[in-house]
């Protein structure tokens, strides 16, 4: 890698940082409070006035929940494998199956067992989602409708509709999910 390559990679860090912050709807002050990096330093990083260093990029990668490679635009190593790091959120385990943090994202979800009378809390957000049940029985709540899906069944829906997924019984459920934050539908083409 030449000095020009390094300079070009570092020049792209500022716009990436600004894009990540804006996608997460955070202010410079929000990021400053979470990282301990001053607002002026964050501003200079985003505008390209300050050269990024590892001690600044590591806490930013953590706050934005992206690999350090994504911040600096590191070239691919040639290894196509993805090394997912499971995340536990709202009782579910999310396993990311794609590297990119924008566009269509793939996840494996493991939903915990659920008591029959437990309430399913619905959410609304921008995007479109496609789910495929790998094992177990799933309840998909879409507005006032409750659909039960079993292994081998799939569903797709606009996430602007109130929705939630949960185990339909006292067994865990494994689900493959594709999510498009831009609201694009998944298209399957016949060969």
Reported as a single tens digit per residue, the pLDDT across 136-184 is 999 999 999 999 999 999 999 999 999 999 999 999 999 999 988 765 5
CA-wise closest residue to 101 among 135, 66, 76, 68: 66
Answering whether pTM is above 0.85, one says: no
Residue 14 neighbours by CB under 8 Å, 6+ apart: 45, 46, 47, 48, 52
pLDDT tops 80 at residue 75? no
């Amino acid at each position: 890698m030449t000095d020009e390559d390094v300079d070009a990679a570092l020049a792209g860090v500022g716009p990436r940082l600004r894009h990540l912050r804006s996608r997460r709807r955070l202010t410079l002050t929000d990021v400053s409070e979470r990282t301990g990096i001053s607002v002026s330093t964050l501003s200079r990083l985003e505008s390209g006035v300050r050269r990024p260093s590892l001690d600044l990029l590591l806490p930013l990668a953590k706050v934005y929940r992206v690999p350090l490679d994504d911040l600096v635009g590191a070239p691919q190593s040639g290894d196509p494998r993805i090394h997912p790091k499971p995340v536990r959120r709202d009782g579910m385990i999310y396993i990311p199956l794609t590297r990119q943090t924008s566009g269509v994202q793939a996840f494996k979800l493991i939903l915990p067992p659920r008591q029959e009378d437990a309430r399913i809390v619905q959410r609304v957000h921008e995007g479109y989602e496609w789910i495929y049940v790998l094992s177990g029985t799933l309840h998909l709540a879409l507005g006032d409708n409750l659909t039960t899906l079993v292994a081998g069944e799939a569903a797709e829906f606009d996430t602007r509709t109130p929705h939630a997924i949960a185990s339909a019984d006292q067994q865990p459920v494994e689900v493959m999910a594709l999510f498009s934050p831009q609201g694009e539908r998944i298209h399957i083409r016949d060969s």
